[in-house]
Copies of this chain bind each other. A is one copy, B any other.
């Protein structure tokens, strides 16, 4: 490449922007706070969508689509909800050349309009549960934006379910939390920590929120997916009721849950390195790039014939392969370009390799030189599949080791303050919003989540010394 990337160790934020732009994932837009998702970035998002959508359908969910616009009065029906979202709203006041009688809000999330519809669709216990997901764009007015991480408009999925009982809603909330964690670990190779959000960090209008939290390359935390037990709050606000088996009217119990294009930001910041992106093979738009290497016309003919056949064979085997036959760039330039774009595996083929029935294989997950090895052309399909699986695991393992080495138990507030300078603290905590606010003010760290599977016990809150029955992760967060 003409210019070097910013160094991730020296300026992680500049490195991130460089990678997003140079790997052609996204671009700034003329509308402040909005982004343009370029084809390579969108294909990565399609990988995320595919992995989630398949899991939603396997667990009995169906997709639907609800309106972009929500009457302002709907948001006002749930008091915490409107308080949480009103500073972030984009409002349509004019339509078809006239001023509207009631302003319309561009959806920041769809609990209200979906609650309104569910009130009409649910009559009896036989209609429950409703397990609907929506793939959509949403708008939240943000002043400080970052490509993928925080944009005024973003793409996401939002699941909205209603159930007959609290237990079923809670089971659904945790089923989705598991599903998100499985996607993050298996597909995105991100070793997320999961748990409940604190009172201060929970969704406006929820009974309880749960999240998957990931550690970025600068050790800051990123909330990569959330699942909320809404209790009966929205059911009461929108009158979503059902007749139970005893013919008595009951309010429904709801959940909602979402993962957004933020996940793309997480993938970049968890796996990327000084050479650019590193994409997990399961969701990489291109899993294998094939680079022909030749000088004269005779070599060219031989090599091009060989790589064309190779690319076809791998494609027919169900792999996502790209043959880079551009003539205006040198092989060395192409190596850098595809490293920047994070393609997991590169296959180089020159005339000697063709003669010997071999090819050279370079893994993106390993160091630069050490990773090259020669493989036999004959068994290339199996070898490539084996290598891709190995790369997927290796990216996860590297991220897991990085996470493990930067999470520390904090026994007191002095330790805590030191740890959150450059890592995550795990500590007894009282859970109060006031205590969390003080901690944030003093350290810039917030509670990330309260793990569900912790051993019972109690201790003293790391900050205020009050009795604490749970431990939580704290970190500076995106």
Residues on A facing B (Cβ under 8 Å): 27, 29-31, 34-39, 41-43, 45-46, 62-71, 74, 86-97, 103-104, 106, 113, 116-117, 120-121, 126, 132, 136-137, 139, 141-143, 152-153, 155, 328
Contact = CB atoms under 8 A, between A and B. Distances in A.
Given A94-B91, A97-B86, A117 B67 contact: no
Contacts of A62: 39, 42-43
Contacts of A35: 67
Contacts of A41: 64
A96 B87 contact: yes
22 contacts: A29-B67, A29-B113, A30-B71, A30-B74, A30-B113, A31-B71, A31-B113, A36-B117, A39-B63, A42-B64, A42-B65, A68-B137, A68-B139, A69-B90, A69-B139, A90-B104, A91-B93, A91-B95, A92-B92, A93-B93, A95-B152, A137-B137
Nearest to A74: B30
Nearest to A35: B67
A90 to B, nearest CB: 5
Given A97-B86, A97-B87, A34 B92 contact: no
Contact of A91 (B71, B92, B132): B92
| CB-based closest 5 A-B pairs | A96-B141, A34-B67, A39-B62, A37-B65, A91-B94
A93 B157 CA distance: 27
A95 B89 contact: yes
A103 to B, nearest CB: 8
A131 to B, nearest CB: 9
Given A35-B67, A66-B29, A117-B29, A96 B92 contact: no
A67 B153 contact: yes
Nearest to A97: B87
Given A36-B117, A62-B39, A89 B96 contact: yes
Nearest to A62: B39
A88 B92 contact: no
Given A91-B94, A93-B91, A116 B68 contact: no
B126 A328 contact: yes
Contacts of A71: 30-31
A66 B70 CA distance: 22
Given A31-B71, A96-B143, 12 more contacts: A27-B117, A27-B121, A29-B66, A30-B74, A39-B132, A42-B62, A45-B65, A68-B153, A90-B92, A91-B93, A91-B94, A91-B95
A301 to B, nearest CB: 24
Contacts of A43: 62-63
B92 A106 contact: yes
A60 to B, nearest CB: 11
A153 B30 CA distance: 23
A155 B65 contact: yes
A320 to B, nearest CB: 12
Nearest to A41: B64
A118 B221 CA distance: 35
Contacts of A70: 31
A68 B34 contact: yes
A95 B90 CA distance: 4
